[in-house]
Amino acid sequence: MMNSMIIGKYVPGDSLIHRLDPRTKLLLMFIYVFIVFLANNEWTYGVLTSFTCVLLFLSRIPLSFMIKGLKPVLWVIVFTFLLHVLLTKEGDVVFQWLGIEVYDKAIQQGAFISLRFLLLIVVTTLVTLTTTPIEVTDGMESLLSPLKKWNMPVHELALMMSISLRFIPTLMEETEKIMKAQMARGVDFSSGPLSERMKAMTALLVPLFISAFKRAEELAVAMEVRGYRGGNGRTKWRELTWRRIDTAFMLLLGLLAVLLWLLRS
Summarize pLDDT for 135-180 with one digit per residue, the tens.
888 888 888 888 878 877 887 788 787 787 778 777 878 888 888 8
Structure confidence at residue 135 (pLDDT): 86
Q: How far is CA 234 from the centre of its chain?
A: 29
Structure confidence at residue 48 (pLDDT): 92
Predicted confidence (pLDDT) per residue in 186-224, tens digit: 777 777 676 777 777 777 888 888 888 888 888 889 888
Predicted confidence (pLDDT) per residue in 11-32, tens digit: 888 899 999 999 999 999 999 9
CA dihedral 213, 218, 221, 224 (to 10 degrees): -100
Higher-confidence residue of 3 and 199: namely: 199
Structure confidence at residue 81 (pLDDT): 85
Residue 151 region by backbone torsions, left for phi larger than 0, else alpha for psi between -120 and 50, else beta = left
Structure confidence at residue 108 (pLDDT): 83
Predicted confidence (pLDDT) per residue in 52-105, tens digit: 999 999 999 888 888 877 777 788 888 888 887 777 777 777 777 766 777 778
Q: How many whole angstroms separate alpha carbon 38 and alpha carbon 50?
A: 15
**Span 113-123, mean pLDDT?**
89
User: Which amino acid, one-letter code, is at 29?
Assistant: M
DSSP string, 122-168: HHHHHHHHTS-HHHHHHHHHHHTGGGGGGT--HHHHHHHHHHHHHHH
Q: What is the pTM of this model?
A: 0.76
Structure confidence at residue 1 (pLDDT): 46
72, 168, 248 from 2: Cα distances, Å? 7, 10, 37
CA dihedral 138, 144, 147, 152 (to 10 degrees): -50
Structure confidence at residue 52 (pLDDT): 92
Please report which confidence band the pLDDT of residue 2 belongs to, taking 50, 70 and 90 as the band edges: very low
Structure confidence at residue 101 (pLDDT): 77
Give the chain's length.
265
Structure confidence at residue 231 (pLDDT): 65
Let me know the angle formed at the C-alpha of 111 by 108 and 115, rounded to the nearest 5 degrees.
140
Structure confidence at residue 258 (pLDDT): 92
